[in-house]
Structure 1
Amino acid sequence: MAITLKIEGMHCGGCVSSVEKAARSIDGVDNVTVSLDKGELTADAQAGKLDQLVAAIEDSGFDVVSRRTD
């Protein structure tokens, strides 16, 4: 399923790299793209991976403020 997460706290390319690394650390999460301009992460994830993905990003020091799945 396609996932879009709105993320607060990203201010630079290093932040983007941290969020990408956290997302890619979750098995079953692929095609990760992070936009600093939009403050969003988009990815494809297997069912049941959304909570793990959000936790990994928040553990990296960022706030996930909204979630959308398609």
Structure 2
Amino acid sequence: MKKVVTVEGMKCAGCANAVKSKFEGVDGIQNVTINLDDNSALVESETDVTTDALSSALADTGYTVTSVTRA
């Protein structure tokens, strides 16, 4: 499954790496591609990863998931 996750607060490569690392730690996620131009992450997973799981992954980072759509 592929989802596009919009993340508030990503502004630089360091931010992108932090978000990517957090998302890669979520069970089932196989690949994460960050797009700083539109503050999004393309998340590819084996199973249907919930919005709550994605939001929880960023809970202590200062970044916020603002939307999740299927890609």
TM norm structure 2: 0.84
- Structure 1 partner of 2:56: 55
2:7 is matched with which residue?
7
Which structure has more helix as a fraction of its residues? 1
Query: Retained in 2: the 8 A contact 1:58–1:64?
Result: no
5 Å matches for 1:22-41?
A: 22-41=22-41
Unaligned 5+ segments in structure 1 are: none
Instruction: Give the whole-Å Cα distance in 2 for the aligned partners of 1:34 and 1:69.
Output: 15
**Hey, what does 2:65 align to over in structure 1?**
64
Give the TM-score normalised by structure 1.
0.85
Instruction: State the 4+ residue runs in structure 1 displaced beyond 6 angstroms.
Output: none
Structure 2 unaligned spans of 5+: none
- What's the offset of the Cα at 1:59? 2.9
Aligned length: 69
